[in-house]
Structure 1
Amino acid sequence: MAGARLPDDHTRPPDEPSMLETTASGDPAVAPRAAVLATPEPGDNLGPYVVEATLGQGAMGVVYKAADDRGQKVAVKLLHRWHTDPETGEDDWLRHEAGTLARLSHPNVVAVLGVGTFDDRPFLAMELVDGETLATWMKQPRPWRDIVPIIRDAARGLAAVHTAGMIHGDFKPDNLMVGRDGRARVMDFGLARSTFGADATAAPTVEVERGGVSRHRFVGTPAYMAPEQLAGRRAEARSDQFACSVTLYEALYGERPFPGQTATELAYNVMRGFRRPRPRTTDVPAWLHQIVHRGLALVGAARWPSMAAYADALERGMQEHADDDA
């Protein structure tokens, strides 16, 4: 079955424990793999980079702190083997898109420095940002005046990615760095796809039916995926906007807009547009909530026309309400 099909009635499909679930952070809980992978250790080489330490691990791969031959510190993301398939041309795609990203220079996008392979797995070398992810940054309650400039920067970064002819496809708090200089940078393009070329029509195969959600080749993080992605259609620029709006909502209110403990429940609520009620005890102004509300529209055409327009709306709102007490 291609794409998603929902029942004609309004009965939510029952959860199936054997199906893909989401963790507390919204990342997919992938099944253990039997494949034995070579693990780089400090002192090992990843292409021209020497590994110094492990920075983190996610569903797509492991990120290492490394240094080049000049001593410059970089972040190197090594993809898991099961996310690569030379027979389908994914390795060629990664090199092609890495080249596109390497030519993209924007203050709100982490610079991609190069691409290579280790143990038949591709890796991306990126700028190492002195800071923390938005996921870590927003663990402490923050006033909306501090949050909005961060998301505005993220929107500008995503707009630059779109202008370069690409879609991020997996924007979320873990994929936005908040630098100690106060500047936000979009990162982690492991799922980015060109908006042109042979793979422009490729779609994630996530099926929603009465029995739950079946996983074939999961692309994206369920908690931040737009309805069209969950429906099996390819991500587009306004899919990134939806993910950005989920992120902004979460930063403002301390919870995501759509409830769901499993991918089944979450997908159903997102595709039906069933959101949580807006928290009553909040100082988030109405104009800001309306920006988020529009970005979360069920249909892409009802969202903001572009990420640039989204960023402009946030900037304009901050300027027009700079003297407000709320």
Structure 2
Amino acid sequence: QQESPSNPSSNQIKEFLVCQKVLSPQQAAYIQRLLEVGYLFCPSCRTLFPAGQNTGSDPLPTLCCPRCRKSEVELHFRMASSGPVQWEMLGVLGQGGFGKVLRVKCLQTGRTMALKVLQRRERYAIRRFLREMRISALLEHPAILPVYGCGYLSNGSPYLLMKEIRGGTLKDWMKAHQDEPDFYREGVRNLIRVCEALEYAHSQGVIHRDIKPSNIAISDFGEVLVMDWGIAKVCGEGKGDPRPEMENPTDLGDSNSQKEQIPLSSVDTPFAEDTDRILTQGGAMMGTPGYMSPEQARGEEASFQSDVYALGATLYELLVGKPPFSGPPSKRLAEVLMGPPVTAQERNPKVPSELSAIAQKCLEPDVNKRYQSVSELRQDLQRYLEGRSVTAKTDSLWEVLWKFYGRNSRSVWVAACVIFLFSLLWGIFKWRDWQHRRSRLEDLWRQAQKYWQQAEEVKPKMLEERWPEVYRGLAREPLEAMQLRQKAMEACLGANKAIEEALVLDPSSEQFRQIFVKANRRLGRLAMLGRQWLLAKTSFRALSKYKGVAGQKLMAELEGYRRWYRRKKLERFHEIWKYLEKEPRKGELEELAAELMRYRSQELVEELLRRLSEPSRWNRWQRRLLVSGLGRLGEGKQKWKGKDVVEWLLEHLKAITKGKPSDWDFEEVVATIWSLGRLKDPRSEELVFQVRWKAGQNSLLWVRTDLPYQWIPLNKQKKKITTAEEYVKRAIQKSEKNNYKGALEDLNQVIQINPKSADAYLNRGNVYLAMKQFSLALKDFNRAIQINPKYVNAYIGRGKVYYTMKQYIRALED
């Protein structure tokens, strides 16, 4: 002071004291740092105290905490210190009793940020500010206000370097947009972003404990950010750790007991704080009355459901325009403890019932009746935006349908249009179908009338009166009577066919039923006259569907007529035999035998065959008649003369085919093979094939007996084959039975045995021709002609192939 009357700087003082050896250089540097920082923090007892409170006599770098006496202050001191500030001041965003918010620009990066500086020196304010620093740095989420840095200024004031928000709080947004038509939906979208931020904070174990509209920032571009984590709680900490102190914690009604926060004037800044917040000591109470949950008001431990309650109060204020509880803090706390508020819909009828129910569920005093997590609340708010039913309210069926329409209005309209078009097309189709059915019924009615008029020309009574002997079973039906009866029956069948189709289109038509009954009655009677019992029975059975009693009477009449006809037939049979015993002429014998065959009675036919089998009385023609009669028996196991019928015919065929084919009775052999074909017994297959093979493939007998031979089943008894000729025979047998695959196998075996067998190539060509494989057939026929140029059947086969391929000139040449 003697040398320099002006106020010296701290560097001059430090140099003077070091030169005078009052302080060592380390002590001087330490003292300078204390002057720069101003406050120290003890990590053990979490106490912040001025650097001058060190009670040690020697101010060494290792200091002791005045509260817990632990030497850990220096380590935190070095971490908390900061270097020189590299910012450019751009202005003040807001200022209050606790501190101020500055708008600064980082000189290194050029980014504009907000600098929040604490100006008060109370211990609880510093502790809260430091807590906000640590929690804000812990949480990284798009909807949580980010902290870029923290530290102490040169004057010892702690600061937070945060993102600059150009806009206002949720409270300001509600005042500015409350008259907009989409206000509720936009507000719910903002709350969903808040729920997402709190959901993340809860996953990190952090409870905000002071959610309200003034702590939710909304930028000019719609960005939603949750702020002010100063009284947040980290799960696992003690009750008293984060809570600041208060001068008079019990007097809640006195405004002097409330610690003033930073009441920024009408500045658009996210750091304006409400003066209604209550901070108490000893873990009694923490939060803002009107938004804090009942358990917080009772001084109990806050939980995740406490933030759900605060979100419900915020939603309530969004819907109604006022908090759920109003008045002085003591009154608001009392109302919170008494029970839930009046529903939002009662205070504002325009509020959607879903949102009112959601808010009311959040504001339940019982923790178990609220949403158990912020995630459940967010899901219900999302359901409201999507037009779905929320869990907080039970919807009626009409409300469910209306919400479904609201969610899928476009799809509903598309479906309605599709249904309308489908109904329109269906109506047009049904109308056209009705017109078609109507015109078709008219056509069927005209057809039925036409057929019935034709049937009316021939009546059964007229036939019985004109030919009484015929329809009494005493004579054969003449051709004229048969033609008339067939004509009438065809007319009745045509009428029935038209009426059956008409009844399918219109089952209730009475006029069609009347004609149907008449036509079936007429058809049944005409069938009775012609001894067509099955047709008559079918007609009367169809008649009984509409005329039950009449149909049953006609069925009884049919059975009576059949019995009468059998009796007449037996009488006629005896008359014929009396006539046959007088040795009639050949023509008469054939006619009478054919009449007996038509009776299709096995006893009658066996009697005829017994009498015709007397060789002394009948000639060769009569024996042919005998053989044909045996085939008409229809069953191969009927015994006659103590022998099987098939065996007798086989013996007879062997007897008449001895010698050369030119010496055979051609007609009798053909009649015998036809009878064996009708009996369809596999035992006759081998002998019939041998007879046909002996006559030759080009003979008339081969052609005349081709059809009855196909009727005879193939004998499954395997016979050992050793020669190529036997393979050829079996192949022909198989091809005659349409077993082309087996025939090809046998013929291929023959070609392997004898590659120059013209018969094998010829028959394989015939098989390929039957299978319509013309190229292979042509190849085999050419090979057969190459082996034997004079093989006539090979030229015939090749000519058939050319004819089928429409190569007519080559076919004529062959």
- The structural deviation recorded for 1:311 is 1.1
Aligned residue number for residue 115 of structure 1: 150
2:376 aligned with 1:309: yes
Whole-angstrom CA distance in 1 between matches of 2:130 and 2:242 = 15
Structure label with greater radius of gyration: 2
Q: Contact (CA 8 Å) 2:136, 2:145: kept in 1 or not? A: no
Distance 2:304 2:380 in 1: 17
Question: What residue number does 2:173 align with?
Answer: 137
Aligned mates of 1:237, 1:276 — CA distance in 2: 24
**Which deviations, in whole Å up to 9, do the C-alpha atoms of 1:20-65 show, x marking residues without a partner?**
xxxxxxxxxxxxxxxxxxxxxxxxx995544432323567643322
Which residue of structure 2 aligns with residue 146 of structure 1?
186
Deviations 1:206-240 (A, max 9, x none): 54899999669444322322222222234332222
Identify unmatched segments of 5+ residues in structure 1: 1-44
Q: Secondary structure at the match of 1:63?
A: strand
* C-alpha separation in 1, matches of 2:291 and 2:84: 31
Q: Distance in 1 between matches of 2:156 and 2:218?
A: 32
SS at 2:101's partner residue? strand
Whole-Å separation in 2 of the counterparts to 1:225 and 1:165? 19
Structure 1 vs Structure 2 CA RMSD? 3.3
What is the CA–CA distance in structure 1 between the aligned matches of 2:84 and 2:290, rounded to whole Å? 32
TM-score, normalised by the number of residues in structure 2: 0.31
Equivalent in the alignment of 2:199: 159
Q: Which runs of 5+ in 2 are unaligned?
A: 1-82, 259-277, 281-285, 389-402, 408-814
Aligned residues of 1:47 and 1:116 also touching (Cα < 8 A)? no
Tell me, yes or no, if the aligned pair for 1:194 and 1:200 is still in contact at 8 Å. no
Give the secondary structure class of the aligned counterpart of 1:77: strand
Q: What is the TM-score normalised by the length of structure 1?
A: 0.72
**Partner residue of 1:318 out of 385, 396, 413:** 385
Residue 322 (structure 2) pairs with residue 255 (structure 1): yes
Percent identity between the aligned chains? 30
Equivalent position to 2:136, from 101, 104, 107: 101
Matches of 1:175 and 1:209, distance apart in 2: 22
C-alpha deviations, 1:148-190, integer Å up to 9, x for none?
A: 1011111111111121221212221111111233231111222
Distance 2:257 2:383 in 1: 42
- Secondary structure at 1:233's aligned position in 2? coil
Q: What's the secondary structure of 2:287's corresponding residue?
A: coil
SS in 2 for 1:102: helix
**How much has 1:115 moved relative to structure 2?**
1.8
> In the aligned structure 2, how far is the partner of 1:46 from the partner of 1:83?
25
Once residues 213 and 84 of structure 2 are traced to their aligned partners in structure 1, the CA distance between those partners, rounded to angstroms, is 27
Q: CA deviation at 1:306?
A: 1.1
**What's the CA shift for 1:315?**
0.7
Contact 1:56 1:64 in 2 (8 A): yes
Structure 1 counterpart of 2:151, one-letter code: G
Q: Is the CA contact (8 Å cut-off) linking 1:60 and 1:190 kept in structure 2?
A: no
Cα distance, 1:53–1:232 mapped onto 2, change above 3 Å? farther
Residue 307 of structure 1 and its aligned partner are, at CA, apart by 1.3
Query: How far off is 1:127 after superposition?
Result: 1.4
Distance change >3 Å, CA 276–CA 59, structure 1 → 2:
farther
Distance 1:313 1:274, change over 3 A: closer
How far the C-alpha of 1:199 sits from its partner, in A, is: 5.2
Letter in 1 for 2:112: K
Within the alignment, does 1:245 sit opposite 2:312 as a pair?
yes
Q: Secondary structure at the residue paired with 1:170?
A: coil
Cross-structure match for 2:235: 195
**CA separation of 1:239/1:48 partners in 2, compared to 1, >3 Å: closer, same or farther?**
farther
Higher relative contact order (CA 8 A, sep 6+): 1
Does residue 117 of structure 2 align to residue 81 of structure 1?
no
Instruction: Look up the match of 1:64.
Output: 102
Q: Which has more strand, going by share of residues?
A: 1
CA contact (8 A) 1:175 1:187 kept: yes
Mapped contact 1:208–1:267 kept (Cα < 8 A): no
Shift of 1:317: 1.6
Q: Is contact 2:215–2:228 with CA below 8 Å preserved after alignment?
A: yes
Q: Does 2:339 correspond to 1:273? A: yes
